[in-house]
Structure 1
Amino acid sequence: MVAHWDQKGVIQKVKEDYQPKEDVLQASYDRLLTVIKEKIAEIQRQGPKFIPECDFTDVEANNGQVPEEVLQRVKDTGCLIIHNVIPDEEVLQRKKEIEDYWYGNQERLGVKARGVMNALGLFKLREHPNLVKCIVAANSLWHDPSGDVEWCPTKPMVYLDGCRIRNPGEEGGMLAHVDSGGIERWWHDEYKQCYKAVWEGKWEELDSYDVSYRTTSPLPTNKFFRAFQGWIAMSEAGQDKGTIRLCPMLKEQTAYYLLKQLLDKELKHWPTVHSMSLRNELFPLINDALVTIPDVQPGDYVLWHCDLGHSVEYTHNGEKDSSVAYIGASPMCPMNAEYLVRQHETFLKGGKGPDFVDRDGDGGPEADFTESRPAIDDLSDIGKKMMGFLPYEVNEDDDEKTREVTLKCNKILGF
């Protein structure tokens, strides 16, 4: 079922709730603009070099954590590229399996599919041990100041998403936007608390890595907490090759799109409940800061924070395809476990994930695919666990809270 919402009523309520704070928010916004313009100048000066990078061996050498030498840059920018996560020959083999599944079924059915979510090659990438280590490293950038949040960053859960195979010269770009909710950032009782510092006129104190409220706020079409969105490169990619562009100033750009939406009287466009457009005529400073990622190769992992604005180049002038498998980083928590229960059903039917069903109102063309559709037994034990088909272990070195969360999530999953 497509998610429905009272657009007119919600927008009116938002205006009424925030109007008394307008003077405080305006003063905060004025301070913000000065900082943003300075950051944009530096981003434009450095270009792709502004995006932090490391190698997978650096993560392994740092006990599975983001290397210290790039840690603060990652937190500030909200993004990271980890090179050489999966061997390129293995990635290219998985890509071929994905293409065989995608185009083989498409040819048989005569149905054009934009992408697929259930190819076995995609599952083999999602469950690769090296990638799982990177997901844990990304999850671990978040923290729980209160100590009360039910979550476990070291035990990831997987959100089924699609892939992109884009040939040279092929259209397929995307305007700047941010996912993981839209207008909910202003009106959802819990979710808006993620941005409490902004609403108090103290954007400088915004903690974009505070996990509070993130794991307890199921939204109309975003019922799974993705700490980071991300993809594994299945081809080379880089500037002017039809790839992603990021707005690498996490706290500043978040405060900018939140405050401008309220304070700019000329801004009549309001976000949906799925995502929010950041196109240039609405948020020009976001677009001024967008930068294409540095060159990547098959097996490199690109990550960006769930609040980060991003777009996809409209021109693809490379000589080869520009292809990625979308695989985000998500921790164990009860909300995500509940999503996995629904995802079990969509997986067994061969269709899209629950968020996509709620947004689009159907399971998509994959529900009719029969050739090479994966079954539960085709997944590794790691894959089964992250999908919720096997219980998570309670380890000897788990603290009491981790044990409680693990047992609670296992119970939700039916174990």
Structure 2
Amino acid sequence: MPLLSPDLGRPPPRRHSKVRDMLMRGKDDTLVASWKLLLEQLRSEIELTLRAGPAIFPSLHFNDLKSKSRANDFSCQLRRSGGGVIRGVISESEARTWNSELQAYLAGDDSLASSSAQDPQLYDVYWSPAQVKCRAHPNVLASQKFLMSLWSSSNHTAAISHNFPLSYADRIRHRNPSDSSFLLRPSIEGDSADRWCPDDSREAFTYKKIWEGNWQNYDPWDSTTRIQTPKHSAQNRNSSSMFRMFQGWLPLSPLPESQGSLRLCPMLQATTAYVLLRPLFSPINSSPTSSEFLSAQNWTLNLRVHLQSLPPPLTGRS
């Protein structure tokens, strides 16, 4: 797993620089103005996040999915934060039973060795009976269908459906209590690196609004452009051809806060814009802990990123 390896990976392909230059051409002033607005938004949202703490992520009991008002409130908050918790999807007794079955399954086959030297608790097991029961449980499917309904499509003829849950089989992580060996670095889900590139039409790509200097109107929940990934994305060995609308964890045992649970950044729209635009700017004070780090006066457009040398003149011409 790359996220467990100290190797930060190879530099991005040269094509990324060419595409980036094409996207930025003639937009210096627009992007600078957009960046200043983004810094203001980030300061505001960081303050809100610090005040709210974990409550910044919405939580809803499965039975409350039947309540239109509660489900709508949950949906609005989740669209903003990018993550949430649905509790009570399965009963505690079912979870304990499946957990016991899973432990017995792993212990009963010596060939089921851990898939990671860095984490001996991660197993390349995808279709154990307990996993199949989890994925096929009607409440799990109902939760998935509800979450998929948060997505929309600006193109009503797009070849995508938000109504039929499909299971993307993943591995088992059987974590020991208070373990600290499995620590993921901050990461962005695979395939995202290529979704900022335009497709062959140079029009339909996921982050178009951000590159136009209009990140405020970027809709993270529009699925239309996400199904038109550039062809070269398929060359990435870590890519998946399946569009995963959500990544969900179903714990089968109690999971205390900060004891193996995910840690997410709850500023979906703003942080997406920041990740894309940040390489184009250089800070004067580069310390993220400085009170001036997100000040507009602390940043300058990094012209070296996209300015190119003129080609040499032809012989006999000026």
Verify same fold: TM over 0.5.
yes
User: 1:145 aligns to what SS in structure 2?
Assistant: coil
- Return closer, same or farther for 1:58/1:169 CA change in 2, 3 Å cut-off: closer
Q: Is 1:248 the equivalent of 2:248?
A: no
1:41 aligns with 2:47: yes
Q: Which of 105, 108, 122 lines up with 1:104 in the alignment?
A: 108
TM-score (norm 1): 0.58
Equivalence for 1:120: 129
Q: Distance in 2 between matches of 1:51 and 1:88?
A: 23
CA distance in 2, matches of 1:284, 1:230: 32
Q: Are the aligned partners of 1:22 and 1:263 in contact in 2 as well (CA < 8 Å)?
A: no
Listed as ranges, the matches of 1:6-17 within 5 Å are 7-17=12-22
CA–CA distance in 2 between the matches of 1:10 and 1:238?
A: 44
Offset, 1:242: 2.4
Shift of 1:46: 1.4
- Within-5 A mapping of 1:7-406: 7-20=12-25, 21-62=27-68, 67-105=71-109, 108-109=110-111, 111-113=113-115, 114-115=122-123, 116-170=125-179, 171-187=181-197, 189=199, 193-217=205-229, 219=233, 220=236, 221-264=239-282
Q: Following the alignment from structure 2 to structure 1, what is the Cα–Cα distance between the partners of residues 279 and 192? A: 11
8 Å Cα contact 1:66/1:137 also seen in 2: no
**Structure number having the greater strand percentage:** 1
**Ranges in structure 1 where 5+ consecutive residues have no aligned partner:** 267-280, 286-415
Q: Secondary structure at the match of 1:238?
A: coil
Relative contact order, higher structure (CA 8 A, sep 6+): 1
Superposition TM-score, scaled by structure 2 size:
0.75
Q: CA deviation at 1:110?
A: 7.5
How many residue pairs get matched?
A: 264
CA RMSD of aligned residues (A): 2.9
CA contact (8 A) 2:126 2:169 kept: yes
Which residue pairs with 2:309 in the alignment? Answer: none
Structure 1 residue matching 2:177: 3-state secondary structure: coil
Q: What residue number does 2:7 align with?
A: none
Mapped to 1, the partners of 2:143 and 2:242 lie a distance apart of: 19
For structure 1, which segment, 45-54 or 176-185, has the greater mean C-alpha deviation from structure 2 after superposition? Answer: 176-185
| 5+ residue gaps, structure 2 | 1-9, 116-121, 291-318
Counterparts of 1:66 and 1:174, CA distance in 2: 33
Shift of 1:118: 1.9
Moved over 6 A (4+): 281-285
State the AA in 2 paired with 1:148: T
Pair 22,117 (structure 1): closer, same or farther in 2 beyond 3 Å: farther
